[in-house]
């Protein structure tokens, strides 16, 4: 599924909802959304990347609805501020009951270089 493409998200959701196993959750890799290689540590991602993540997971949530959970597979390759920023859109969507706009993303500080 291309999470940045609404039609791709809808097609995936339609297939998932028709599966006889009755899946109620799915996990998707974050790397294609960010356009970065897998299996490599990535320093703090920037605000544009966070907005891309928010858009991708909002597309998936809109297509899947409230009854299917979404998990992000990050492979432990992001620092703490980036991990929080990646999780933020899924915590603060209209479906979470918190009343926050799904496009809102946190301003996260850069971690100091070691």
Q: What angle do CA 94, 91, 43 make, to 5 degrees?
A: 130
- For 74, the domain range is 6-96
Query: Is residue 106 assigned to a domain?
Result: no
* CB-count exposure of residue 89 (10 Å: 0-12, 13-18, 19+): buried
CA distance 10 to 61: 10
Q: What is the value of pTM for the model shown?
A: 0.73
Tally of domains within the chain: 1
pLDDT at position 58: 86
Residue with tokens 């979470």: 96
Query: Is residue 1 assigned to a domain?
Result: no
Mean pLDDT by 10 residues, the chain (114 residues): 94 90 84 86 86 88 86 81 79 47 46 43
Query: Is residue 22 assigned to a domain?
Result: yes
DSSP annotation string for 55-107 = HHHHHHHHHH-SSSEEEEE-TT-B-HHHHHHHHHHHHSSGGGTS---TT----
């Amino acid at each position: 599924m291309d999470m940045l493409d609404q039609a791709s998200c809808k097609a995936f959701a339609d297939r998932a909802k028709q599966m006889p196993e009755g899946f109620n959750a799915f996990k998707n890799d974050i790397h294609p959304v960010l356009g970065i290689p897998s299996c490599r540590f990535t320093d703090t991602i920037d605000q544009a990347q966070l907005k891309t993540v928010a858009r991708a997971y909002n597309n998936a949530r809109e297509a899947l609805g409230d009854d299917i959970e979404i998990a992000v597979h990050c492979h432990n390759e992001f620092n703490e501020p980036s991990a929080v920023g990646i999780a933020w859109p899924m915590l603060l969507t209209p479906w979470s009951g918190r009343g926050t706009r799904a496009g809102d993303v946190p301003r996260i500080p850069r971690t100091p270089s070691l």
